[in-house]
Structure 1
């Protein structure tokens, strides 16, 4: 923005300010409420000209603040020489304020400094020339009319720019979060596609091979064994298909295969969590009450259970109060039960903001397997509970 840009259409509020100042100044002048007689023999009516020029500068205070300030300085000079109307002085202070508030960044830096310099000169020169302490009042008047509005505008402008920058950062953060969320969804879908290829296709291949063997070998024992393998792979393949079919829509770009997390990796997960949560006063313990030597869990159940625990631990690191976070696993009546408890309350420093999508994702993982999920506040403890079918034959068809 040029400091002396061409004026545009005046703002409605500026027109009202200019009109009010002009009418008020004319009234004061006709009532004889002005500073004193003109200097150097100038006609007193020139004060009205200065008033009109100042009102015109007020109309340009937003659209051309540099031009408005130049006109205002000339008008104030004429006003001082012709008797000083208080309305003209008041409008001048507003023009100084507007020049800093709405002017270019360079003008916002230079004008306050110029006001300080003008105040210093207006203080020292009259005292040096008049040799009268009362001459200090001239500097005080100049400071009130220039430094006051200029630095007030600086403070307000800096506050507005800081608020604008904060809003911009918030919008950028929200945009990055949304991009991260979309990329995470695409990555999850791509991972599910890889699991479909690596796991379901493997089951189907085993079914085809053992079916061919059962047809080729005319031995009852071999046929029964092949049928057992076929049934086992069919059940596991169907379970994985049920979990994946609802998630494989518009899969993202393929990347390198990734290993599927399992429950035996929870120790490593919690060990990492202990390191991350040490500064927040959090400790993590794992209690595995599953009977030893039991049948292995299906990969979809292991994956869902691991992810639910992982998300719960992540939420605890972000939101939990200092204390102990416990993870408990148990298996009974054909179901895998897991529970994660964390202390709820105030914690040092601000809580990290959350969107709630993690709870939705945990609920969806449990629902896709035909299980249940619940997360709620129980007194001063946040509890996450999930019940997942441990036997494939018990999952919904």
Structure 2
């Protein structure tokens, strides 16, 4: 059952010292019994204090024995007070099923004891006094222990419920991340397939033509190399993304240059969008093109669902990166449709996949801003070149 707790042992010693002082001061019923005999029940009750946590039922037994012995030779104030701790400890630290029987037993003892005292003395006032005294000794510590234990159980249940909610939230987050990654894998599949299809076609054409000039062969090989490098870069971006067997692959490559279509659809849905393009639009790597398109799409969708009636989108083409900024007021005029937060998670995943970042949050006091920075180059890689066109036999 474990060793005796040090703090309980010290409490037992302190209780015995206080009880001995009360005995020396005469705090017991004088019945012609030597005072040292009252030290025995006091010692039993203090022993119950020493084992109250590791052996609560033993503490209860020692308390009952001490109370009975003390009634036979006393009773004494110190022993009665310490017995209340024995009763409290038995209900607080003992089996849960012990509480209700102890409450019934102490209630019955208080009523019967008070009635017996009043009947013997034929005094109603004595009945009331005895009832209160016996109730304080037995009923009060038992009921107090039950209340405290109930509060502890409720606190433990709340902690467990909070942990379960946290685990469910984490599972929801992981599910959202996995679903978003699976969708990105489907969208990028065809982009990567295009690179390697071009390589296969060009290689086959070169091998099948014996009359090509060295200049043409070199041009084709340069195109093959650049498509290979870019394809491998995009493949590295997809590491860790798994696509379930049997899922259909989307064959459409979405480009950030088609942002005007997103804006037009948002306007048709009731959102007044102002689109501005800074810098000269240029060909972007396929993963960046796709990520930028989806981030802009999600930002405009969130603006429509949770923002005001207007939004401003800015696409900035900068050296080595493209920056997307979507601002919309949060003035409370929108219906505030519910959301699970998967959109923000998806934007962050898409940006991280291409080495970028997304910041979303309050801006300018009463507005909301989505700010995405997507790098357009990787060290050691260059932009995708269009496949070189082989000359016909007549041209060569």
Q: TM-score w.r.t. structure 2 length?
A: 0.67
Q: Distance in 1 between matches of 2:309 and 2:377?
A: 28
1 or 2 for the larger relative contact order (CA 8 Å, sep ≥6)?
2
RMSD in angstroms over aligned alpha carbons? 5.0
For residues 98-146 of structure 1, what are the alpha-carbon distances to aligned partners after superposition, in whole Å with 9 as ceiling and x for unaligned? 1111111111333233333333333344334434323211111122222
Within 5 A, what are the aligned runs for 1:8-47? 8-34=2-28, 36-38=29-31, 45-47=36-38
Equivalent position of 2:369 in the other structure: 383
Match of 1:107 in 2: 98
Structure 1 339/234 Cα, relative in aligned 2: closer, same or farther at 3 Å? Answer: farther
Deviations 1:24-61 (Å, cap 9, x if unpaired)? 21222123222x123xx766543211111111111221
Task: Work out whether residues 106 and 138 of structure 2, in 8 Å CA contact, stay in contact via their aligned partners in 1.
Answer: yes
Aligned equivalents of 1:201, 1:266: Cα separation in 2: 29
Match of 1:324 in 2: 308
Over residues 160-210 of structure 1, what are the superposed CA-to-partner deviations in whole Å (9 max), with x where a residue is unaligned? 222222333333444444455556555555555555544312332144335
2:194 maps to which of 202, 213, 217: 202
1:137 aligns with 2:123: no
Instruction: Output the TM-score relative to the length of structure 1.
Output: 0.67
Greater CA drift, 150-159 or 253-262: 253-262
Aligned position for 1:308: 295
Change (3 A) 1:185 1:95: same
CA distance in 1, matches of 2:196, 2:159: 54
* Residue ranges of structure 2 left out of the alignment (5+ in a row): 333-338, 384-396
Pair 1:135–1:374, CA change in 2 (3 A): closer
Q: CA deviation at 1:62?
A: 0.9
Structure 1 counterpart SS, 2:308: strand
Per the alignment, do residues 309 and 165 of structure 1 end up closer, same or farther by CA in structure 2, a change over 3 Å counting?
farther
Structure 2: distance between partners of 1:173 and 1:304:
32
Deviation at residue 364 of structure 1 after TM alignment: 6.2
Q: Is the counterpart of residue 149 in structure 1 residue 147 in structure 2?
A: no
Q: d(CA) in 1 for partners of 2:377 and 2:173?
A: 33
Alpha-carbon distance between aligned partners in 1 of 2:249 and 2:243, rounded to the nearest angstrom: 17
Using the alignment, how far apart are the partners of 1:385 and 1:204 within structure 2?
Answer: 33
1:133–1:64 CA distance, 2 compared to 1 (3 A): same
Rg: which structure is higher?
2
Instruction: Give how far 1:21 is off.
Output: 1.2
Change (3 A) 1:358 1:172: same
Task: After TM superposition, give the deviation of residue 314 of structure 1 in Å.
Answer: 9.7
Aligned to 1:287: 273
Answering whether residue 356 of structure 2 is matched by residue 365 of structure 1, we say no
Partners of 2:180 and 2:375 in 1: CA distance: 22
1:333–1:32 distance in 2 versus 1, CA, 3 Å: closer
CA deviations 1:268-308 (Å, max 9, x no partner) are 9999xx9xxxxxxxxx94626379xx999876346424653
Distance (Å, rounded) in 1 between the aligned partners of 2:310 and 2:234: 28
2:389 corresponding residue in structure 1: none
- Name the SS of the counterpart of 1:248 in structure 2: coil
Does structure 2 conserve the Cα–Cα contact (< 8 Å) formed by 1:337 and 1:386?
yes
Superposed CA deviations along residues 326-364 of structure 1, whole A, max 9, x for unmatched, are 65445565857341546499xxxxxx999x9957x7456
> What is the distance in 2 between the residues matched to 1:387 and 1:325?
25
Mark the CA change 1:136 to 1:54 in structure 2 (over 3 Å): closer, same or farther.
same
Q: Are 1:166 and 2:158 an aligned pair?
A: yes
Contact 2:325 2:372 in 1 (8 A): yes
3-state SS, counterpart of residue 30 of structure 2: coil
Work out whether 1:257 is the aligned partner of 2:247.
yes
CA contact (8 A) 2:33 2:73 kept: yes
Structure 1 partner of 2:392? none
Q: Give aligned pairs, total.
A: 354
